Structure 1
Amino acid sequence: MMQTSSDTLYQQYVDAMRKIADLRYASALLQWDQETYLPAKGAAIRGQQIATLSEIAHEHSTAPSLGGLLQELMGCDNLTPGQKKNVSLTWEDYSKQKKFTPAFVRELTETVNKSFHSWIEARKANDFKIFGRHLAPLVELKKQEAQLLGYEGHPYNALLNDFDKGSNVATLDGVFNNIGQPLKNILDQIQSRPQVSNAFLHRHYPKDKQWAFGMQVLKDLGYDLEAGRQDMSEHPFTTSFNSRDVRVTTRIDEQDLGNMVWSCIHETGHALYEQGLPDEEYGLPLGEAASLTIHESQSRLWENHVGRSKAFCEHYFPVLQQYFPEQLQDVTVETFYQGINQVSPSLIRTEADEVTYHFHVMIRYELEKQLIGGNLATNDIPAFWNEQYARYLGVTVPDDKRGCLQDVHWSHGSFGYFPTYSLGSFYAAQIYRKASESIKDIDNQIKNGNTTELLQWLRSGIHQYGRMYTSEELGQRVTGETLKIDHFLQYILDKYRDIYKF
């Protein structure tokens, strides 16, 4: 009997993985439609459709034939390093998925669908109890998921690992404990100085002109509109079906220009990463992002280090004045720069400044940790939330919509995602510092509206590798060192000493 060659085996593996990817991305397309255009009465059947596709994809991804193929490939000694990595990562994914039954996958998917639509309804009614009725069974399923996956230490570790391989409570507790007091000290120094004004952001900015400006920024930063599109949603997000179909959404408040502009830039950062993943690795681990932490490092880098920089303002403020001449006629570029970087404790995470933002994340991290650990009941979320906002940020939460209903993540079952926002911000500072050392006159390039070299630097150093490296390995490869929050703290100090003169 002739032995099957490794090339043939690997092609069989690629074919199998791409069929699974086709199913998953078809489901993702239905989810994108659900958050953008789905008629309200279609919600129940849509949940059934998504659940069916998820169940079928799970059956294929846990099939004994795939397991046998992977074991054969792991015994081959003539695969390329990239092929070996794909196979080993798929084996990890396969072993993990085998812990879930198709029935569990279907129940979780259907519960997420109900939870999402109840979150939309709850936001409209400004009443957490509407959401809480569907969130409670979802939390129980996530606890069950943690038990099925297995973990060391805290059960939350099993869910954290889903978003950043190797992430755990012990490490995150250390990071947040080390960053909390230095950030509080910086905040105290800022609050001791006269406040800068951002009142100009809250004038009336017509929706259509905001949309047009946002589209211009997306295109200018390198987002390929022939491989993507932007739409409106309740909560801005990015979704990818392959590197040639990466979609973003935004939301627009006519009384808050900042709401749209920097959510557009943030989501563009995600989209640029997805569009930079290698086409030839579609359906395989090396065609997927390294982690959600690295994903957030890209979005936060573009949103803050580029989008809130003085150089960015010097280029785009005159453009904004062309769109909104009446609203910005009495505003200077310096006033604009200071205003968009105003530091002030607030209610909404996505609108928070770079200093207080991480207190928003810490609150969610502590809440999720207690929820999954069984120390907090779903019904107690609003009270816990309100107490923590008073403690960390000194603000009074007026209602559920501006409190514990503001984020979409829990309705998706994404417990363990929030810490990646802070970790991503810290990596962003470290990565951008390295980019600034590597790219000559990066500030002048941004001032001239040219971010092409920065994007190419990110593409070659980060995007092209997919899941080849963990967050820590990739950070080390790009910057020459493991994650150090000192880079972020120095960036914050330098920036806000200049703005607030302390």
Structure 2
Amino acid sequence: MATEAASQSDTYQEFLATVKRISNVGSAQGLLNWDQEVMMPEEGTPARSQQLSALSALSHELLTSDEMAQYLDDLEDADLDAGQQAVVREVRRKHERATRVPTELVEEISQTAAEAHPTWKEAREEDDFSTFAPTLEKLVDLKRQYAEHIDPDADPYEVLFEDYEPYLGLDTAEETLERLREELVPLVEAVRESDVDLATPFEVSASEASGGSEDVTSSGGEFDPDTQEELARDVLDTLGYDWDRGRLDTAPHPFSTGTQFDARVTTRFNPADPLGALTSTIHEFGHATYTLGLPDEHYATPLGESRDLTVHESQSRLWENHVGRSLPFWERFLPVMQERFPQLDDATPRDVYEAANTVKEDNLIRVEADELTYHMHIVVRFEVERELIAGDLDVEDVPEVWNDKYEEYLGIRPDTDAEGCLQDIHWSHGSFGYFPTYSLGSVLAAQLYDAAEDDLGDLDDRIREGEFDDLHEWLTENVHQHGCLYTTDDLVREATGESFTADHFVDYVTEKYGDLYDL
């Protein structure tokens, strides 16, 4: 008996060593992707696409090897503890999906996505969808092939969605988006009919912003981007970002990536909108603080990796919306902002709170959307990419269908492809099925925040005083430290005492915007 236990232990340790090799290859891919979007020279794509393709192939070969299959068979009925069982469960799921996909297809998808990034970037800069259309068509075809290999009898979009959220199910995403559409559309209409005008402290004249000088070019615009970067670092300091394990850079589309030892954030700056850069930075901080909260001792194993994108997005949306867009936060942070931008000296915390939560009638950009209309942006993307993957929408028709849906759901129509279907980077990565997790994450953020307040008491005073340790610790204890120990819904139940539900989010936005707009 002791011999059998020792044998199982040895098998598990050999299995875990292979798992760590796969994870480290993935981490290297992540760093190369970060470099491509942040620092790589413009002409570096031919080499980078081959590098990423080679790493994708290596990871795929390790995951689908006969050796891995044998480990999983040997551990099927082994006497493992809960953590070890979770590691085997997560790896088995990935192994079973990966073994159905040919290595050549994995390489082709990776190389095409790497080459797609500069093409998408050029198309957006030139406002010309036709530049990106052939690449998008190829990516759609490749991802259809990928989904068909994994499960030829399933809805291909569902297969792709499960790459990002394997446990809640596409039906939960559809039900959640339908509920948000039903609840938020009338709320947005009520807001637009309200007579309340919220404050606009950032709409200062160019002359004011440049200290009275008519020549604003030398000042960098209304809100100088270099000064905005200093302010972004201020907000990360305020929230408790670990600079020893992270860094801040700029990217065309803000993102966060890394491990618990190296979690990096990016943002972007608009001279007319310092608030956008701040909320973007806080959003990416939420992702990074989740990554940094994963247990060091389980690095490169599922127990040291995040629980998929619904939970990841819940962390970014919690920090961005429930903290960064709250009145107590601006009571704390506005003086710091006024030191950087004296033209805001007359603004009050209430002014900035209102500006941060204004429901915009003419905003076309998802990442600049308010908490209410944001989800209609997600619905548009969800419906467009479902039709693309199903073969019910031709790539060449995407701009027109996209614009029609914006008109239907948001009452506005893009004038350009750049502010329409080219605004997001996701499709250039081949990331179809990703977008619903943004709404799922927003919903979960409200559920987790309410659970934290149930345990800790009202958080407003702590936020007002800049004391974020209790919230950090609660999230680490109830979410971060578990890695992939639990499936998504089990993790939600462990953290909140109930299954995933949109009730908390609907209550939160109804109360918040009812107060703001006197509904």
Residue type matched to 2:114 in 1?
N
Alignment length (residue pairs): 499
Checking the alignment, whether the CA contact within 8 Å between 2:201 and 2:351 is kept in structure 1 is no
Shift of 1:7: 2.2
Name the structure 1 match of 2:351: 335
2:8, 2:75 within 8 Å by CA — same for their partners in 1? yes
Give CA-to-partner distance per residue, 1:163-182, whole Å, 9 cap, x none.
Answer: 11134443333222222122
For the residue of structure 1 that corresponds to 2:511, the secondary structure is helix
d(CA) in 2 for partners of 1:481, 1:208: 45
Per-residue CA deviations over 1:74-129 (Å, capped at 9, x if unaligned) read 2322x221011111221111111111121111111111112111101111111111
Instruction: State the distance in 1 between where 2:440 and 2:23 align.
Output: 28
Match of 1:475 among 472, 492, 496: 492
* Counterpart residue identity of residue 237, structure 2: K
Q: Please give the alpha-carbon distance, in whole angstroms, between the structure 2 residues aligned to 1:407 and 1:23.
A: 26
Assess if the C-alpha contact under 8 Å between 2:72 and 2:88 holds in 1.
yes
Q: Does 1:81 align with 2:82?
A: yes
Query: Any gaps of 5 or more consecutive residues in structure 1?
Result: none
Q: 1:18 aligns with which of 13, 17, 20?
A: 20
Displacement of 1:152: 5.6
Name the SS of the counterpart of 1:200 in structure 2. coil
The one-letter code of the counterpart of 2:347 is V
> Which residue identity does 2:235 align to in structure 1?
V
Among 299, 314, 322, the residue aligned to 1:282: 299
The match for 1:141 is 142
TM-score w.r.t. structure 2 length? 0.93
Contact 2:317 2:442 in 1 (8 A): yes
2 CA distance for matches of 1:126 and 1:166? 38
The 1:235–1:295 alpha-carbon spacing in structure 2 relative to 1, beyond 3 Å, is same
Structure-to-structure mapping, 1:140-159, within 5 angstroms: 140-150=141-151, 153-159=154-160
- Output one character per residue of 1:350-394: Cα deviation in whole Å (capped at 9) or x when no partner: 000001000000010011111111111111110011000011001
Tell me what 1:229 maps to.
Answer: 247
Do the aligned partners of 1:430 and 1:484 also contact (CA within 8 Å) in 2? yes
Of 296-305 and 152-161, deviating more is 152-161
Match runs of 1:90-489 below 5 Å? 90-150=91-151, 153-197=154-198, 199-203=200-204, 204-240=222-258, 242-326=259-343, 328-345=344-361, 346-489=363-506
2:45 aligned partner: 43
CA contact (8 A) 1:118 1:130 kept: yes
Could you report, residue by residue, the CA deviation over 1:272-298 in whole angstroms, capped at 9, with x for unpaired residues? 000011112222111111120010011
- The CA distance in 1 between the partners of 2:5 and 2:242, in whole Å, is 45
Distance in 1, matches of 2:501 and 2:18, equals 40
Return the letter of the residue paired with 1:237.
F
1:378 partner amino acid: V
How large is the Cα RMSD of the aligned pairs? 1.6
Q: Distance in 1 between matches of 2:357 and 2:300?
A: 40
Question: Helix, strand or coil for the counterpart of 1:74?
Answer: coil
Which ranges of structure 2 fall in alignment gaps of 5 or more residues?
A: 205-221
Q: Distance in 1 between matches of 2:21 and 2:502?
A: 41
CA contact (8 A) 1:122 1:131 kept: yes
- Describe the SS at the equivalent of 1:231: strand
| Secondary structure, aligned partner of 1:368 | helix
Rounded to whole Å, the distance in 2 between the matches of 1:2 and 1:453 is 45
* Whole-angstrom CA distance in 2 between matches of 1:361 and 1:384: 15
CA separation in 1, counterparts of 2:374 and 2:485?
30
C-alpha change, 1:225 and 1:85, in structure 2 (3 Å) is: same
Distance 1:323 1:107 in 2: 47
Tell me the distance in 2 between the aligned counterparts of 1:42 and 1:153: 38
Question: Which range moved further: 354-363 or 284-293?
Answer: 284-293
Cα distance between partner residues in 2 of 1:473 and 1:163? 17
CA drift of 1:199 comes to: 3.7
| Worse overlay, 196-205 or 52-61 | 196-205
Secondary structure in structure 1 of the residue aligned to 2:383 = helix
Distance 2:372 2:5 in 1: 61
Q: Is the partner of 2:163 in helix, strand or coil? A: helix
8 Å Cα contact 2:286-2:318 kept in structure 1: yes
Q: 2:115 is aligned with what amino acid?
A: K
Q: In 1, Cα distance between the equivalents of 2:146 and 2:459?
A: 45
Matched position secondary structure for 2:37: helix
Q: Taking structure 1 as the reference length, what is the TM-score of the superposition?
A: 0.96
Counterpart residue type for residue 62 of structure 1: T
Deviation at 1:59, TM superposition (A): 1.0
Paired-residue identity, %: 40
Distance 1:56 1:260, change over 3 A: same
Q: What is the CA–CA distance in structure 2 between the aligned matches of 1:425 and 1:166, rounded to whole Å?
A: 17
